[in-house]
Amino acid sequence: LRPVASGNWGCGVFGGNKELKSLIQIIAAAKARRGLIYCTFHDKPFETSLVEQYEKLLEMGATIGEVYRALTSFHKQLEREPKLSVFQHVSNCLAAFRA
């Protein structure tokens, strides 16, 4: 199957969270068994952090379900830690799942 091409949908004038939106798209593509071509629209810092997060997920052997569970718990943790990033939260959750 051909890969899906996507990017920071909902993150411009709508103010969506790029980290959250990118991980939703990654798990959707993985669930559909499709590759994902993710366009960051020349946002080099975000591109770098997205690649690092993706490599971390692969290295940890994260499942679609684990990433989904981490994402769904983010809003509650954000109330306690307002400066927490989605990527950091997901990494923390995955480490806790394996502890």
Give the tens place of pLDDT for each residue, 5-59.
Answer: 999 988 887 889 999 999 999 999 999 999 999 999 999 999 999 999 999 999 9
Full-model pTM: 0.92
Residue that the structure tokens 């290295």 belong to: 59
Confidence label for 67 from pLDDT (cuts 50, 70 and 90) = very high
Radius of gyration of the chain (CA): 13
**Has residue 99 got a pLDDT over 90?**
no
Residue 85 CB contacts under 8 Å (≥ 6 apart), including other chains: 19
Q: Is the pLDDT of residue 64 over 90?
A: yes
> How many helices (DSSP H) and strands (DSSP E) are in the chain?
4, 2
- The rounded distance, in Å, linking the Cα atoms of 36 and 40 is 12
Coil vs helix vs strand at 4:
strand
Q: What is the rounded distance in angstroms from the CA atom of residue 76 to the CA atom of residue 71?
A: 10
